[in-house]
């Protein structure tokens, strides 16, 4: 019997879906995030962990003597102590592509919401001020069409973004370490993307090389009035420098699904900035994404049981 722990706040609909997955060879236990005691207790006899966001530390790994596989429900594995897992002989797998469409759609939504100041318009409309906005409000808005969108990284998500951005009339450029021969956008050097982009969208993994890539100096190289969108990892950006650039008006706006510290502390100055649209790291979260993710997770359970090579093994 394979004992699987799914560490996640599953909705009632998802729990019903998970109940249908139970087979004679699979025992699935859902443990809500935030309950460390319940998580640690469940891990004692777990063979497989389905991991979403809460960090898988060395202590969690050491408390799971039977653990053989950490299956990331998503792509980024920076929340897993990879070195300790490797030392214990525990496989780590992710699932690239399962959430790409959802993240691409959310990225486009954040671009539009930041350009049009949708949160402020929503609030003003609810408060009865929507038809009496100051005349200068119009100067804060903008369209994607006619602007240059710069994509840092060119994996699955930015590839999905290029066609709709171009259909809306944007010029799309990108940077990756090497130009992609099949890319539908123009490769530009890193500094050129910063200098040319009216909208800069981040699509890079968080690694020692990319942490703080958008520091204060890099943000200074952006065009005055540029928009920054981040659905990748908060650690890519110097958040204090970004907050200052937004508060001063040097940057027009930002749309962020990820932050340096998650959850965001209630006293974080970023929360007091009006020209930023925020979401709680849920760009990936749709029923469709979870269905695709479950298919990969179940396949890796089967492969582990049968001794076959695992899908998308990391490292």
Confirm whether 303 is a catalytic residue. no
Q: Is 272 exposed, middle or buried (0-12, 13-18, 19+ CB in 10 A)?
A: exposed
Kindly list the distances between the CA atom of residue 162 and the CA atoms of 48, 155, 158, 170, in Å, as whole numbers in the listed order.
Answer: 37, 11, 6, 9
What is the biggest distance separating any 2 CA atoms in the chain, rounded to whole angstroms?
67
Q: Which of 7, 233, 252, 292 is catalytic?
A: 233
Confirm whether 177 is a catalytic residue. no
What whole-number distance in Å separates Cα of residue 87 and Cα of residue 292?
30
Radius of gyration of the chain (CA): 21
Confirm whether 281 is a catalytic residue. yes
What whole-number distance in Å separates Cα of residue 215 and Cα of residue 238?
5
Query: What residues contact residue 202 under an 8 Å CB cut-off, 6+ apart?
Result: 152, 153, 214, 228, 229, 230, 231, 232, 233, 236, 237
195 closest CA partner among 228, 222, 227, 167: 222
Find out whether 48 and 1 touch, Cβ atoms under 8 Å: no
Find out whether 171 and 159 touch, Cβ atoms under 8 Å: no
Q: What angle do CA 7, 78, 12 make, to 5 degrees?
A: 25
Please give the full DSSP string across 90-129, using - where no structure is assigned: -EEE--TTSSHHHHHHHHHHHHHHHHHTHHHHHHHHHTT-
Cβ count near 20 (within 10 Å): 7
Query: What residues contact residue 269 under an 8 Å CB cut-off, 6+ apart?
Result: 240, 243, 247
For residues 23, 27, 29, 30, the Cα torsion angle rounded to the nearest 10 degrees is: -30
Q: Which of 262, 274, 291, 308 is catalytic?
A: 262
Q: Which of 154, 159, 252, 281 is catalytic?
A: 281
Q: Supply the residues annotated as catalytic.
A: 233, 262, 281
């Amino acid at each position: 019997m394979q004992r699987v722990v799914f560490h996640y706040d599953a909705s009632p609909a998802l729990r019903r879906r998970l109940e249908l997955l139970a087979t004679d060879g699979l025992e699935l236990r859902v443990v809500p995030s935030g309950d460390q005691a319940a998580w640690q207790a469940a891990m004692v006899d777990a063979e497989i962990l389905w991991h979403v966001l809460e960090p898988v530390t060395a202590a969690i790994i050491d408390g799971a003597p039977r653990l053989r596989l950490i299956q990331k429900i998503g792509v980024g594995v920076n929340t897993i102590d990879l070195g300790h897992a490797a030392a214990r002989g525990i496989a780590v797998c992710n699932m690239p592509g399962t959430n790409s469409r959802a993240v691409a759609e959310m990225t486009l939504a954040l671009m539009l919401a930041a350009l049009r100041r949708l949160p402020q318009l929503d609030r003003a409309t609810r408060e009865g001020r929507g038809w009496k906005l100051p005349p200068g409000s119009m100067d804060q808005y903008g369209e994607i069409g006619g602007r240059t969108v710069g994509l840092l990284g060119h994996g699955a998500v930015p590839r999905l973004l290029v066609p709709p951005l171009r259909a809306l009339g944007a010029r799309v450029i990108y940077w990756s370490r090497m130009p992609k021969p099949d890319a539908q956008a123009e490769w530009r050097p890193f500094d050129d993307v910063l200098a040319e982009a009216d909208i800069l969208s981040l699509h890079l993994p968080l690694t020692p090389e990319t942490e703080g890539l958008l520091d204060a100096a890099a943000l200074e190289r952006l065009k005055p009035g540029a928009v920054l969108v981040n659905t990748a990892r908060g650690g890519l950006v110097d958040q204090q420098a970004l907050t200052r650039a937004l508060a001063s008006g040097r940057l027009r706006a930002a749309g962020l699904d990820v932050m340096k510290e998650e959850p965001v502390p209630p006293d974080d100055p970023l929360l007091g900035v009006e020209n930023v649209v925020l979401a709680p790291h849920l760009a990936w979260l749709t029923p469709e994404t979870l269905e695709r993710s479950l298919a990969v997770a179940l396949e890796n359970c089967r492969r582990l049981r049968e001794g076959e090579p695992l899908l998308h093994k990391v490292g």
